[in-house]
Structure 1
């Protein structure tokens, strides 16, 4: 690896932008190529740090810890859109807390009086909550400050960007066609953005494998309400019935939301794979190709850890 080598990052979601930032700050001449800027799925995220149905567990645990440490640092700067926020994750069953939650600041099991009606167990902790439009804008500014560039266009193959010392594939769902990788599938997610009636703490329900999620993420003047997880659905069109269900579920937990005004709907398709793919592979012409995709609903949670692994693979070439 030498400084000023041209490196192309394909994709401008949270994984692509984070990876581009780390490589540009390491001295590469980074160019991000994406058909949408920023990526719509990342823009639609809630987003709270926390591993969400992703494998392999050993690597996911490390990637998550690396990202958590970075978000804790970023939370000291309001311009990043990252805040350390206290709140509750609860279950309607007597579920044990996941191991990743028990290590978070302020973790403790909830008393029955702290839980909404109908919930059997829960735990409180403090965790990074990320305002995605603000955060993605921060990443783009940081990339620009490091000398990185962005080109908005659609690629038909991973060899199309032209001469480069390395190509980093962070195309998410686009990897299904670009790699090609038939193991990547979409899981549609929808959030409703409403005015904030004064909430400062998050609430989320452990809904297991249900397609109907429940999360309440306050971001200053707005609150992100969720959500859905529809396996195999690629549509980015608004679903009024799903939105009504989200509002009903969230208002039942937090009645103050009944008077909130709906501001917008955010829809994305989580790029899901049985195992997150972060590995190097050569293109037919010998160009180094590094994959970084398949993060499902944990793209934000894994972003800094996976990007650091990409940087290590790039520096060892």
Structure 2
């Protein structure tokens, strides 16, 4: 394989938008995807997907649609509320519109302000637990991947990409273990770029979903199909607050980490992640992941991988972002080799709690 271009790692952490941070909504044991009746409301819960929200979105949305469709057999309720304007909420709303329902999306944030918008965008199983839900997760992955792949070239910001790694990727191997054949097996090879001369590694083939494009397209399509977005003036403080403020009797709860407060879900745990946003480099078309990652998108070259369990703020740390860039640059021979900073890419050893079901 011919040598591929090497990234330009010039980075100014003080530049506007150069450093961003978000909080992954991790749920110990498993994500929550089920339904209950409470205070006369039919609630479908769809949250706790950790760092895999975009990856699982279309698959979870299909499950939400199926739950609501079964509920409609004994109900004439055609008016549905969705809580949350991130990727889980908007994909669920899209599938509910397919049932001919009237959909209203309630959120204290606009889509471009959500954690989903801050995601890196590789299609892979990140930090998520699925205790007792292995078969369900397999179905979700199949549906999600098939839907994303079918949208390539249609303005959703989805493309097929190579992801090079120096070692086997836990995140992509998790997909292969759960659903063999869904993505190609990795190819062993000499890594084809500067800084890795004669270094053995692997080439995976997966998808890149660019959140700024994908979420904007979802929002545009939802509005065009008649969905209503309601930005609530302040966060809901409790489940009772939701019930008194949302008139619909059918509610899809896609509040992510907010479910810890609203539904008193003590299995939820925040995991802060930070991203360094380098200027876009159109010549770069491959991903790289190992103790941090690099995803070249249309808007930026995104470098990430920080993993801070129990930290719930969205304030970026410029020093951490700079260290992360230097570390990835050193792997390409573009910076002195330095001790690995306090960064961790998503994999089992970095789970908030030890559980053999984590992938």
| Length-normalised TM-score, structure 1 | 0.71
Aligned to 2:213: 134
CA contact (8 A) 2:85 2:114 kept: no
Q: What CA distance in whole angstroms lies between the structure 1 residues aligned with 2:284 and 2:171?
A: 26
CA distance in 2, matches of 1:236, 1:40: 11
Offset of residue 34 of structure 1: 0.5
Aligned to 2:158: 82
Q: What is the root-mean-square deviation in Å for CA atoms of aligned residues? A: 3.1
Unaligned runs of 5+ in 2: 1-71, 337-350
Equivalences for residues 190-205 of structure 1 within 5 A: 190-197=274-281, 198-205=283-290
Equivalent in 95, 99, 120 of residue 26 of structure 1: 99
In 2, Cα distance between equivalents of 1:129 and 1:148: 27
Q: How do 1:192-231 and structure 2 match up within 5 A? A: 192-197=276-281, 198-205=283-290, 207=291, 214-220=292-298, 222-231=300-309
Q: What SS does structure 1 have at the residue aligned with 2:246?
A: coil
Name the CA shift for 1:85/1:113 in 2 (closer, same or farther; >3 Å).
closer
Decide whether the 8 Å contact of 2:191 with 2:200 is kept in 1.
no
What corresponds to 2:229 in structure 1?
150
> Following the alignment from structure 1 to structure 2, what is the Cα–Cα distance between the partners of residues 119 and 23?
52
Residue 14 (1) aligns with residue 87 (2): yes
SS of residue matched to 1:33: strand
Task: Give the conservation status (yes or no) of the 8 Å contact 1:94–1:120.
Answer: no
Please give the alpha-carbon distance, in whole angstroms, between the structure 2 residues aligned to 1:96 and 1:105: 12
- Matched residue SS, 2:323: helix
Report the Cα offset of residue 167 of structure 1: 0.5
CA offsets 1:174-197 (integer angstroms, 9 cap, x no match) = 000101111111100111111134
Structure 1 SS opposite 2:311: coil
Aligned to 2:119: 45
2:136 aligned residue (32, 42, 59): 59
Q: 1:51–1:246: structure 2 CA closer, same or farther, 3 Å change rule?
A: same
Alignment match, 2:14: none
Task: Decide whether the 8 Å contact of 1:97 with 1:123 is kept in 2.
Answer: no
Q: Does the 8 Å CA contact 1:89/1:204 hold for their aligned counterparts?
A: yes
Equivalent residue runs for 1:128-277 within 5 Å: 128-153=207-232, 154-156=235-237, 157=239, 158-197=242-281, 198-205=283-290, 207=291, 214-220=292-298, 222-254=300-332
State the Cα distance separating 1:141 from its structure 2 match: 1.0
Distance 1:3 1:251, change over 3 A: farther
Deviates more, 1:105-114 or 1:214-223: 105-114
Distance in 1 (alpha carbons) for counterparts of 2:124 and 2:332? 22
Shift in Å at residue 257 of structure 1? 9.7
Contact kept, 8 Å, 1:10 with 1:33, in 2: the verdict is yes
Structure-2-length-normalised TM-score? 0.63
Query: How has the CA–CA distance of structure 1 residues 109 and 49 changed in structure 2, closer, same or farther, with 3 Å as cutoff?
Result: same
Give the deviation of 1:244 after TM superposition. 1.1
The change in CA–CA distance for 1:200 and 1:95 in structure 2 (over 3 A counts) is closer
Return the structure number with greater strand share. Answer: 1
Q: Provide, for residues 56-102 of structure 1, a one-character-per-residue CA deviation record: whole Å limited to 9, x for no partner.
A: 1332222122110011011121x2111111222332x8989725246
Q: Deviations over 1:254-301 (max 9, x none)?
A: 45799xxxxxxxxxxxxx998xxxxxxxxxxxxxxxxxxxxx9x9xxx
